[in-house]
Amino acid sequence: MAPDGSPTADDVMIVNAARALGDLARVGRATCFVGIGLPSTAANLARNLYEPAPVLIYESGCIGSKPTRLPLSIGDGELGETADAVVSVPEIFAYWLQAGRIDVGFLGGAQLDRLGNINSTVIGSYAAPRTRLPGAGGAPEIAAAAGRVVVIMRQTRRAFVERCDFRTSLGFGDGPGDRESFGLTGGGTGLVITDLGILEPERGTCELVMTRLHPGVSREQCLDNTGWTLRFSDDLGRTAPATDEELAMLRRVRNGAAL
Amino acid sequence: MAPDGSPTADDVMIVNAARALGDLARVGRATCFVGIGLPSTAANLARNLYEPAPVLIYESGCIGSKPTRLPLSIGDGELGETADAVVSVPEIFAYWLQAGRIDVGFLGGAQLDRLGNINSTVIGSYAAPRTRLPGAGGAPEIAAAAGRVVVIMRQTRRAFVERCDFRTSLGFGDGPGDRESFGLTGGGTGLVITDLGILEPERGTCELVMTRLHPGVSREQCLDNTGWTLRFSDDLGRTAPATDEELAMLRRVRNGAAL
Amino acid sequence: MEGFTHLIPHSAGHEIIRQQIRDLHVIRMTPDVIFDQLIGAGCVRKLTFSWGGNPGVGSLHRFRDAVENAWPRAIEIEEHSHAGMAARYSAGASGLPFGTLRGYRGTDLLQFTENVRLINCPFTGEKLAAVRAINPDVSIVHAQRADREGNVQIWGLIGVQKEAILSAKVAIATVEEIVDRLEPVQGAVVLPAWVISAVACVPNGAHPSFAMGYSQRDNDFYREWDPISSDRVAFAQWIQTHVVATDDHEAFLNSISKAHKGGRSGA
Amino acid sequence: MEGFTHLIPHSAGHEIIRQQIRDLHVIRMTPDVIFDQLIGAGCVRKLTFSWGGNPGVGSLHRFRDAVENAWPRAIEIEEHSHAGMAARYSAGASGLPFGTLRGYRGTDLLQFTENVRLINCPFTGEKLAAVRAINPDVSIVHAQRADREGNVQIWGLIGVQKEAILSAKVAIATVEEIVDRLEPVQGAVVLPAWVISAVACVPNGAHPSFAMGYSQRDNDFYREWDPISSDRVAFAQWIQTHVVATDDHEAFLNSISKAHKGGRSGA
């Protein structure tokens, strides 16, 4: 929250991500594989705001976690104690993710490219990286197998690039047909929620195009903060302003007040 | 027990099987994968007679079961309640048996052949069997992966055959080198305990030869009850008579008295 | 179409017989008495299994009669080892087309199934058995209990219950009890409501099998089944009296309790 | 050479630093602070991993310094996805030379490891990733408790602890407590004494990680690690003061409790 009480760009991004999860849960796509950080904040916001609530699944083996405070780590005890079931790590990946039981995979990353591929490995060359990032984690198989992938990332020229320095997780590869040729069972990057607005893959080309802008955001801002020649949807819309209720709940989720 | 109190041939067989397990446990080969029936009776007898006691593992997923009464079925609740750990059936076969953690596999069968192969599938042809038997169960992989296999079977001309009608579980296949060529990691049929005596594979040929006779049993009896031209070891010995202590414990195990 | 060992869904099997559902391809590692009944009642076209016996008692006579004499109809069989079936269920639950194990090689089982092939390890060159995944159209299991949302809790010998549910297109659980809240139990597996298609409350629905914490295995019944199933007429009468002529599982339990009481107390 | 997530064997890692064991090939899905310390202390020759960060905080600065600047020495890295590493451990625990998953295809990860190859399903022809089994020389895990016979009980987030133990040639467990009898706990895994090579009792041996039922994760420590590890000198001082100069884990805990108390109460 900004000092004047208006939502920050991050708040707007998180609220819109939570709404996206809520929308998916409403159409029966409720199971959500969540990473720590922004995805976890947004997912827990959605869980507290919407009915039916998304079912949160963490790669540490927690199914149906209902944390009352935001976990710092994927291995936070709170996630296990509030889960419907806790399984081993090999099982969560094999029986749950790979088997196609996850509707929504919720990812972040350091770079995202025009075709929705994600880099969380290195900036620069692999042999002599400028920045060594944490690495793949669960992302490659989430990107491969989840029914649809929702990416949450701040939109900057350095992060939104023409082509990732390293393809850690596949969006649409080099274009239409690539996912199928690699035998990936999930739908790929379906929605990218940034601090400026929302991008979606264009039918036919799979290129990410801006489909909605957050209140007060201009097309120029988006162009300036994107490393490829960004295009806008013909029916470019605006996201609804974050409501007081959404913002109040976001504050509670962040502060770890009893949820 | 016969009416006069002397041990029956079955008693002698079971006591000798228990001794074999006790001997193996004493040299540190204590983990024993057990089937229901004679193997389970003998294994529980060994567990109550010897120190260190063999560790009983059942294919229903029970590790370290210490039943106080003999289970009728592999799925008997008693096996789970007295176990150190209960795991799923896929896990018991993959992480425990296949991984080579089982020292002794304890098997029965309907037919056993000269090279220690076992049939528990059909008598007669597969397409039109004279007798349809229950089938493989866990036996093929026990025979493949256990450090050594102990077979307990009544010796008759119908059961001890030149060649099994169906090879359900591999002993030595067609002879030396066959196990290795099939990539089997376990040692194969190491000991066959019958109501007449004990057979072991001959070094070099892998053929089962009689190495010991139970008290009062003659060579002729063995020859009459074996479907191949049975040979006897040069240093053919006799098993020690079942002791009163062994027989008393066998009675207690059978009756399910508190063990 | 069903589970393993403990928690055998007898009540669901009986209902299949009552509804005269036929031409089934049934799958189970350890088909025992309930599968003997399904086979004898003519419901089964094909059986995939790894061990078909009456545990601790002997043969399944209806199964043998079907295989040896095609009575009441011929059945197709496909048989595996336990390890192979377990790997097939695990692969099915994992969404993989096959599972891998060190098995089958050298046995005659390999000749009689299309669903095992040898593959080479791409690293070591070792030849291993690949088994085709099982993904049943319907899996039915019995479990201890479910909550009102449909989350199902199973404990004790869990067998391949989880894999049977997770590999199936439609998963049905019969349970001993429906409760407000699933209290934690040591060694329990919970399957969330969203992987279960339907839950039916059938107390003692595994009888003569058992549900740990709710009932004991009726070992006497398994022994009594041997003479009943040995004879086609006695079998047909038993099915008619206790299954076809009863409306539901409660009526079935009453019916067999009357019939078997005398014999049992004398056993 | 160690476990995952919850129950991280920090005390064992410190002892490796104290004993100056070097040239290690260390393996962990989620190398975090303790691996950062091992790397910064120069113990590591090669790291196999799938995610190397300080969870919820950011980078592992010693890890980055080693990869980016070869300080204090160059380290070799081999990286995978979590799913791939989990399949590798499972294969190792199963005694198979490889595991199979639907993964890696289309990613650049494939180019930088010899331990993933594509294979064809012998039934469907689908191309899948085969990953080489992991069978560490030594696995070290932390667990809640053991009994006097050496049976080890683990509960809560069990991660790949079981697979780490069962895939290893030698398995070592540090535990919070040694008890006469392992009372049942919901969701607990028990590993029998005969698959464990050695047990050491080290109360709070996972600190700043935690053991469910015994301790809480010290999230503040993870945050404080960020500035310490960002600076080579500050790091070296920290290792010298709190690890090298302490005799054992108890002394280590006393040492950091004094040093970090002021900062923490102000945080």
Q: Among all chains, which residue has been given the structure tokens 């994992």?
A: C94
Which of A65-74, B114-123, D50-59 reaches the highest mean pLDDT?
A: B114-123
pLDDT at position B105, please? 96
d(CA C192, CA C187): 16
CA distances from C248 to A54, C251, C259 (A): 38, 5, 17
Q: Among all chains, which residue has been given the structure tokens 């295009």?
A: A231
d(CA B100, CA B185): 8
**Is D63's pLDDT higher than 50?**
yes
Contacts of D184 in chain C (CB under 8 A): 186-187
Query: What would the two tokens of residue D230 be?
Result: 């960002």
Contacts of A61 in chain D (CB under 8 A): 157-159
**Is D264's pLDDT higher than 60?**
no
| C108 has a chain B CB within 8 A of its CB | yes
Contacts of C189 in chain D (CB under 8 A): none
d(CA A22, CA B101): 48
- Residue contact C123–D132, C-beta within 8 A: yes
For D216, the enclosing helix (H) or strand (E) is none
How many residue pairs bridge chain B and chain C with CB atoms within 8 Å of each other? Answer: 177
Taking only the tens place, the pLDDT of each residue in D119-158 is 999 999 999 999 999 999 999 999 999 999 999 999 999 9
H helix intervals, chain D: 10-18, 33-40, 61-69, 82-94, 161-167, 219-230, 232-238, 249-266
- Residue contact D29–A37, C-beta within 8 A: no
Average pLDDT for C82-102: 98
| D119 has a chain C CB within 8 A of its CB | yes
Query: What would the two tokens of residue A226 be?
Result: 């994107």
Would strands C24-28 and B189-193 be described as parallel, antiparallel, or unpaired?
A: unpaired
- Residue contact D191–B31, C-beta within 8 A: no
pLDDT at position B123, please? 97
**Is C58's pLDDT higher than 50?**
yes
Q: What is the DSSP letter of A183?
A: T
H helix intervals, B195-238: 219-224
pLDDT at position D261, please? 60
- Residue contact D102–C96, C-beta within 8 A: yes
pLDDT at position C105, please? 96
DSSP three-state, residue A167: coil
Of D96, D162, D192, the CB nearest to B64: D192
| C37 has a chain A CB within 8 A of its CB | no
Average pLDDT for C102-127: 97
pLDDT at position C266, please? 34
Q: Among all chains, which residue has been given the structure tokens 């720590």?
A: A36
Taking only the tens place, the pLDDT of each residue in A115-163 is 999 999 999 999 999 999 999 999 999 999 999 999 999 999 999 999 9
pLDDT at position C5, please? 59
d(CA B186, CA B184): 6
Per-residue pLDDT of chain B (259 residues; tens, 9 = 90+): 666 778 999 999 999 999 999 999 999 889 999 977 788 899 999 999 999 999 999 999 999 999 887 776 766 778 888 899 999 999 999 999 999 999 999 999 999 999 999 999 999 999 999 999 999 999 999 999 999 999 999 999 999 999 999 999 999 999 999 999 999 999 999 999 999 999 999 999 999 999 999 999 999 999 999 999 999 999 999 999 999 999 999 999 888 755 5
Please give the ipTM for the structure prediction.
Answer: 0.95
- Residue contact B134–C5, C-beta within 8 A: no
Contacts of D123 in chain C (CB under 8 A): 97-98, 115, 117, 130, 132
**Is C265's pLDDT higher than 60?**
no
- Residue contact D94–B94, C-beta within 8 A: yes
d(CA C6, CA C208): 10
Question: What pTM was computed for the model?
Answer: 0.96
- Residue contact D94–B63, C-beta within 8 A: no
pLDDT at position B5, please? 73
Share of chain C above pLDDT 70, in %: 95
Share of chain D above pLDDT 70, in %: 95
DSSP three-state, residue C85: helix
Contacts of C122 in chain D (CB under 8 A): 98, 117, 119, 130
Res. C106 pLDDT band, cuts 50 70 90: very high
Of C95, C96, C192, the CB nearest to A64: C192
Q: What is the DSSP letter of B193?
A: E
**Is C180's pLDDT higher than 90?**
yes
- Residue contact C96–D97, C-beta within 8 A: no
Angle at A205 between CA A201 and CA A208, to 5 degrees: 30
pLDDT at position B3, please? 65
| C222 has a chain B CB within 8 A of its CB | yes
Of A130, A167, A183, the CB nearest to D126: A183
How many residue pairs bridge chain B and chain D with CB atoms within 8 Å of each other? Answer: 34
Res. C264 pLDDT band, cuts 50 70 90: very low
Q: What sign for the dihedral angle of Cα B152, B158, B162, B167? A: negative
Contacts of A185 in chain D (CB under 8 A): 102
Res. C261 pLDDT band, cuts 50 70 90: low
The residues of A annotated with a catalytic role in the active site are 59
**Is D6's pLDDT higher than 80?**
no
- Residue contact B90–C64, C-beta within 8 A: no
pLDDT at position D46, please? 96
Of C96, C163, C195, the CB nearest to A101: C195
Per the CB < 8 A criterion, the answer to whether B192 and B208 are in contact is yes
Q: What is the DSSP letter of B223?
A: H
Average pLDDT for D219-246: 96
Contacts of A88 in chain D (CB under 8 A): 158-160, 162-163
Contacts of C98 in chain D (CB under 8 A): 100, 121-124
Q: Which chains touch C (3 or more CB pairs under 8 A)?
A: A, B, D
Taking only the tens place, the pLDDT of each residue in B30-53 is 999 997 778 889 999 999 999 999
Question: Nearest CA of chain A to the CA of D15: how many Å?
Answer: 24
Per the CB < 8 A criterion, the answer to whether D195 and B31 are in contact is no
Per the CB < 8 A criterion, the answer to whether D40 and D72 are in contact is yes
**Is A219's pLDDT higher than 50?**
yes
DSSP labels, D123-158: TT--EEEEEEPP--SEEEEEEEEEETT--EEE-SS-
Question: Nearest CA of chain C to the CA of D98: how many Å?
Answer: 7
- Closest residue in B to C189 (Cα) is B88
Contacts of A94 in chain C (CB under 8 A): 90, 93-96
The per-type count for chain A, helices as H runs and strands as E runs, is: 8, 15
Q: Do chains D and C touch (3 or more CB pairs under 8 A)?
A: yes
Chosen from D96, D135, D155 to mutate, greatest number of chain C CBs within 10 A: D96
| D230 has a chain A CB within 8 A of its CB | no
Q: Quick one: residue C200, left, alpha or beta (phi over 0 = left, psi -120 to 50 = alpha)?
A: beta
Of C57, C126, C158, the CB nearest to B88: C158
Angle at D97 between CA D93 and CA D100, to 5 degrees: 85
Taking only the tens place, the pLDDT of each residue in D15-38 is 999 999 999 999 999 998 999 999
Taking only the tens place, the pLDDT of each residue in A91-111 is 999 999 999 999 999 999 999
| D123 has a chain B CB within 8 A of its CB | no
- Residue contact C100–D100, C-beta within 8 A: yes
d(CA C36, CA C62): 5
Would strands A160-161 and A111-113 be described as parallel, antiparallel, or unpaired?
A: parallel
Share of chain C above pLDDT 90, in %: 86
Of C49, C87, C217, the CB nearest to B76: C217
**Is C74's pLDDT higher than 70?**
yes
Per the CB < 8 A criterion, the answer to whether B141 and B57 are in contact is no
